Amino acid sequence: MSARQVRSRWSNAVLVCRKCEKKIKGGGFGPEGNKSLGKALRKHLQLGKGRKAGAGILEVGCLDICPKRAVTVVDTSKPDRWLIIHPGANLDVLAHDLGLRNKS
């Protein structure tokens, strides 16, 4: 049986360590500082979820970096450059660094 293809509208994909997110109590991201990084980025950029979104922000298992009070993020277009993001980070700057754009 051959592989089947499924299309998506993603311009790029970002991997966010779920374990790092859980270690930060209360989320730490977004305007009120109460969301996980993945959810805050999706909402800030109005991306939505799933393969029909403009970009993929995927929460994945442990990436084995485990920074204290921060989240590990991988931009799949630059797999050799991992980012450590601290709570309260400017989401506009982060989105620019990751090559993510608003839906509109």
In this prediction, residue 103 carries a pLDDT of 65
Q: What is the pLDDT of residues 5-62, one digit of tens each?
A: 999 999 899 999 999 999 998 889 999 999 999 999 999 999 988 999 999 999 999 9
Task: Judge whether 4 lies within some domain.
Answer: no
Does residue 8 sit within a domain?
no
Sign of the torsion formed by the C-alpha atoms of 8, 34, 102 and 13: negative
Q: What distances in angstroms separate CA 93 from CA 1, 9, 97, 101, one per listed residue?
A: 44, 23, 6, 11
- Report pLDDT for 101: 83
Which pLDDT band holds residue 70 (cuts at 50, 70, 90)? very high
Residue 1 has pLDDT above 90, yes or no: no
In a domain? residue 3? no
Q: Is the pLDDT of residue 104 over 60?
A: no
Contact between residue 34 and residue 26 where contact means Cβ atoms under 8 Å apart: yes
Q: DSSP strand E in 1-104: where?
A: 13-17, 56-60, 71-75, 82-85
Question: Which residue bears the tokens 């959810």?
Answer: 39
> Residue 82: inside a domain, yes or no?
yes
